[in-house]
Amino acid sequence: MSASPCLPLMIVDDDDDLRDALADIMNAQGYEVAAFADGRAALAALEGGVTPFLILLDLMMPGMSGWEFRAAQLENPTLALIPVVVVTAAGNLSDGAGTLSSVEVPISHSRWTSSCRPLPDTLPRRERT
């Protein structure tokens, strides 16, 4: 089952192969993917108006880590509303806000796509111009 046409999804992961593979899988499912190799670039894109319905986030990245990215995201009331799924080899995680989900890698193709299906109340409201 494909996602709604051009539903925006953000991937933040410094592993080129994993990031590219995730982007390919999610593009094939109908998502509009914005992929970033580091937290600073992803945060700048969000602050510049990129509005994904979901962020797939690696925690262990050079420069701005996933934890630092998440802390900065939560400081902005608008960005804090965007759900995050952490891509990790670790188990259960908490960011203190109780809003982090995680998927452990390696993971199957079907699990990726089911983990990224939007709930109706998480979809961004967009004005058409």
How far is it between the farthest Cα atoms of the chain? 43
- 16 in a domain, yes or no? yes
- 26 in a domain, yes or no? yes
Structure tokens at 27: 């593009």
Range of the domain at 6: 1-62
* β-strand pairing of 54-58 with 31-36: unpaired
- 111 in a domain, yes or no? no
Q: Is the dihedral of CA 52, 76, 41, 109 positive or negative?
A: negative
Structure tokens at 106: 């390696």
Instruction: Determine the pLDDT at residue 106.
Output: 47
Q: What is the CATH number of the domain that holds 48?
A: 3.40.50.2300
Q: pLDDT band at residue 105, thresholds of 50, 70 and 90?
A: low
Q: How many domains does the chain have?
A: 1
Provide the whole-model pTM: 0.72
- 39 in a domain, yes or no? yes
Comparing 102 with 83, the larger pLDDT belongs to 83
